[in-house]
Amino acid sequence: MTHHTPSGHHPSLSQLGFWRKYIFATDHKIIGLQYGITALFFLLFGFCLMLLMRWQLAYPGEPIPFIGKFLGEGRAPGGIMLPEFYNELGAMHGTIMVFLGIVPLVFGAFGNYIVPLQIGAPDMAFPKLNMISYWLFFVGGVVMLVSFFLPGGAASSGWTSYSPLANIASLGQTFWIIGMFFLINSSLLGAINFIATVIQLRAPGMTFMRLPFFVWSQLVTAFLLLLAFPPLEAAAVMQLLDRVAHTSFFLPSGLVVSGEPLQVSGGGSVLLWQHLFWFLGHPEVYVLILPAMGIIAEIIANNIRKPLWGYRSMVYSVVFIGFMSFIVWAHHMYLTGMGTTISAFFQATTMIISIPSVIILTCLFLSLWGGSIRFNVPMLFTLAFLPMFGIGGLTGLPLGLSAPDIYLHDTYYVIAHFHYIVAPGTIFAIFAGIYHWFPKVTGRHLNNLLGHIHFWPSFFMMNCIFIPMFAQGLAGVSRRLYDGGEQYTFAQGVLPLHKMISMCAWILALAQLPFIINLLWSMFNGRKVSSDNPWEATTLEWATPTPPGHGNFVKVPTVHRGPYEYSVPGAAKDFTPQNEE
């Protein structure tokens, strides 16, 4: 392993103290790892909230074994979960998974670590802003966690915080808003940094059509964050004022709460909140999935040993998705009675945006054709991603049309649909990415056997959890009930599935243990990499020392070709790195 010694007046990493090096770090790789570790913690925490909810759904009204008595009388008297606590868990599961788990992982962690390496840059364009982004994210996460210990508990109005319910909710909602301010501003700074980095810091020869697809996906994601988050910030300002300054932005006239008329000026609009929320909310969906597609594309190209099929159409598709995602938001609002004309418009845009998604997925599938596939652990997760994302995407089509959506919208069908995209979709891509890039980050491989023990149960359990939910949803079981629909006769036929789903969710939790053990064990004891490019990949991150030092490259790389030159006819080896003459 060679280590790069930076020249000039910049202090080298070894000269910096512990605090500047690891805590208030400005190096994009350290910040990427900070994001990764923090977000993995939140991902686990958000998952645990759901495991608690699953008990209540499977065995409503029965005391939670073991942990029930530690939850406190205010949350679960005698170990039996209160409806209010169930609502807190639901709202915070969504908030934590989306804003503190997945986005920081795919964008903050993978984006930060990999993007500068793949474009041949020494760091992000604004290293100090990068540090501020991370710490804003961290504070936002702490505010969200602290809110569980407030009187009245954490936010409980759903991750969407619909007004007027959120306006009259307990103090936890105010904390949710304040936490969101931190997270939004963190994302905004991060987005500015990513775009500036990709546009300004590409190495000589790295033209836009030579960028790896992962970089393209991150670039589009950054634009989505940059332009979609500010409206949510505006909405959060208004909701905060509604709560603390008693304005009526989202409170219509004549509102009655607990039998008492609400003493406010009125004249507000509840739909205004939903429009502003979903104006963020829909691009956010693509923030969750596009970087995952980027990771998948990198791993596929590397493990099929041939170029991606249709790189250009994938790039055009991802850019088109970026534009379209700003004009589909109201398909989350068919139930609100916006009117058929508006519904028809959003129906049409929603059908249109599914086309580029299908193009990308089709290109990835067709890439497999005729490849000599290496079935290593990252590739297993990748191959699982493709059909799982396909199921998630195709089951979304009925939800994009207002007539079936009115029936399906409030049922478990929706839960199953978007979890297929985010859980066996994005989270599998995250796992794939961790197994793929771990050797570059640490210089060691993750253990293969533990990887298989992680993959196979996770893959089966994910499907056992979410396929039954489609059945429950089609039977009409509401996704918002704290007892899982026990009081409804029409739901009785599919209710036993709750027990099976919960059981599978707990087994899924157990299946994550080998992964956690693998991460900790392999960091120090894993098999050492044989070279700087153990996967024999073509992209620039593998042209750095392992692990990359401060400043990344020993000398500025020059790019001579596209990102996926595998098995070039007549070449000496089956991969031709981008920086090779």
Partner 1 sequence: MELMPYIVKERPDTGLFNAKLGIWLFLSSEVMLFGALFSAYVLLRTGAPHWPHGSSILNVPIGAFNTVVLIASSVTMVFSWAALKENKFGKFKLNLGLTILLAFVFLIVKAIEYGAKFEHHLYPKTSTFLAIYFTLTALHALHVIGGIVVNGYFWGPGARMWQAEPERFVNRIEIAGIYWHFVDLVWIFLFPTLYLL
Cβ distance to partner 1 smaller for residue 154 or 191 = 191
Q: For 186, phi and psi rounded to 5 degrees?
A: -60, -45
Residue 270 C-beta: closest distance to partner 1, Å: 11
* Residue 416 · residue 467 · CB < 8 Å: yes
Q: According to the binding rule CB under 8 A, does residue 48 interact with partner 1?
A: no
* Residue 423 · residue 47 · CB < 8 Å: no
CA distance 290 to 222: 10
Structural Rg of the chain based on CA atoms: 24
CA distance 14 to 551: 13
Q: According to the binding rule CB under 8 A, does residue 69 interact with partner 1?
A: no
Cβ distance to partner 1 smaller for residue 177 or 519 = 177
Residue 115 C-beta: closest distance to partner 1, Å: 15
Q: Which stretch binds partner 1 (CB under 8 A): 101-109, 225-233, 352-360, 436-444?
A: 225-233
Q: Which stretch binds partner 1 (CB under 8 A): 74-82, 144-152, 199-207, 571-579?
A: 199-207
Q: According to the binding rule CB under 8 A, does residue 553 interact with partner 1?
A: yes
Q: According to the binding rule CB under 8 A, does residue 264 interact with partner 1?
A: yes
Cβ distance to partner 1 smaller for residue 264 or 401 = 264
Q: According to the binding rule CB under 8 A, does residue 226 interact with partner 1?
A: yes
Q: What is the dihedral of CA 364, 365, 369, 375, to 10 degrees?
A: 80
Q: According to the binding rule CB under 8 A, does residue 177 interact with partner 1?
A: no
Residue 560 C-beta: closest distance to partner 1, Å: 17
Three-class secondary structure of residue 375 per DSSP = coil
Alpha helix (H) residue ranges in 245-330: 270-304, 311-324
Residue 393 C-beta: closest distance to partner 1, Å: 28
CA distance 224 to 325: 8
Question: Of 76, 102, 125, 469, which lies in the binding site for partner 1, with binding defined by CB under 8 A?
Answer: 125
Question: Of 48, 165, 178, 192, which lies in the binding site for partner 1, with binding defined by CB under 8 A?
Answer: 192
Cβ distance to partner 1 smaller for residue 120 or 212 = 120
Question: Of 33, 155, 169, 195, which lies in the binding site for partner 1, with binding defined by CB under 8 A?
Answer: 195
Instruction: Name residue 137's beta-bridge partners.
Output: none
Reported as half-sphere exposure (CB side, CA atoms, 13 A), residue 569 has a value of 0
Residue 129 C-beta: closest distance to partner 1, Å: 8
End-to-end CA distance of the chain: 23
Q: According to the binding rule CB under 8 A, does residue 122 interact with partner 1?
A: yes
Cβ distance to partner 1 smaller for residue 18 or 555 = 555
CA distance 483 to 505: 17
Q: According to the binding rule CB under 8 A, does residue 127 interact with partner 1?
A: yes
Q: Which stretch binds partner 1 (CB under 8 A): 32-40, 54-62, 224-232, 284-292?
A: 224-232
Q: According to the binding rule CB under 8 A, does residue 353 interact with partner 1?
A: no
Strands 260-261, 256-257: pairing kind: antiparallel
Residue 236 C-beta: closest distance to partner 1, Å: 10
Q: According to the binding rule CB under 8 A, does residue 337 interact with partner 1?
A: no
**How many residues appear in the chain?**
581
Question: Of 139, 145, 165, 196, which lies in the binding site for partner 1, with binding defined by CB under 8 A?
Answer: 196
Residue 5 C-beta: closest distance to partner 1, Å: 11
Token pair for 362: 């089709």
CA distance 307 to 294: 15
Instruction: Name residue 575's beta-bridge partners.
Output: 566
Q: How many residues bind partner 1 (CB under 8 A)?
A: 50
Q: According to the binding rule CB under 8 A, does residue 248 interact with partner 1?
A: yes
Q: According to the binding rule CB under 8 A, does residue 228 interact with partner 1?
A: yes
Tokens 């690891």 correspond to 22
Establish whether the linkage from the previous residue to 164 is cis, with ω within 30° of 0.
Answer: yes
- CA–CA distance from 39 to each of 19, 36, 456 (Å)? 20, 5, 24
Helix then strand then coil, % of the chain, to nearest 5: 65, 0, 30
Residue 325 C-beta: closest distance to partner 1, Å: 14
Residue 353 C-beta: closest distance to partner 1, Å: 20
CA distance 128 to 242: 35
Q: According to the binding rule CB under 8 A, does residue 8 interact with partner 1?
A: yes
Q: According to the binding rule CB under 8 A, does residue 254 interact with partner 1?
A: no
Instruction: Name residue 261's beta-bridge partners.
Output: 256
Q: According to the binding rule CB under 8 A, does residue 205 interact with partner 1?
A: no
SS (H, E, C) 121-183: CCCCCCHHHHHHHHHHHHHHHHHHHHHHHCCCCCCCCCCCCCCCCHHHCCCHHHHHHHHHHHH
Residues 270-309 that bind partner 1 (CB under 8 A): 271-272, 275-276, 279
Burial of 435 per CB tally in 10 Å (0-12, 13-18, 19+):
buried
Cβ distance to partner 1 smaller for residue 171 or 264 = 264
Residue 112 C-beta: closest distance to partner 1, Å: 16
* Residue 55 · residue 64 · CB < 8 Å: yes
CA distance 68 to 53: 12
What is the number of other CB atoms lying within 10 angstroms of the CB of residue 397? 13
Cβ distance to partner 1 smaller for residue 188 or 416 = 188
Q: For 321, phi and psi rounded to 5 degrees?
A: -55, -45
x/- mask, partner 1, residues 500-539, rule CB under 8 A, reads ----------------------------------------
Residue 205 C-beta: closest distance to partner 1, Å: 11
Which residues, including other chains, have CB under 8 Å from residue 487's CB and lie 6 or more apart?
Answer: none
Q: According to the binding rule CB under 8 A, does residue 265 interact with partner 1?
A: yes
In which element (H, E) is residue 260 found?
A: strand 260-261
Cβ distance to partner 1 smaller for residue 230 or 443 = 230
Q: According to the binding rule CB under 8 A, does residue 556 interact with partner 1?
A: yes
Q: Which stretch binds partner 1 (CB under 8 A): 7-15, 139-147, 349-357, 508-516?
A: 7-15
Q: According to the binding rule CB under 8 A, does residue 247 interact with partner 1?
A: yes
- Footprint of partner 1 on this chain (CB under 8 A)? 6-8, 10, 122-123, 125-127, 129, 188, 191-193, 195-196, 199-201, 226-231, 233-235, 237-238, 241, 245-249, 264-265, 267-269, 271-272, 275-276, 279, 551, 553, 555-556
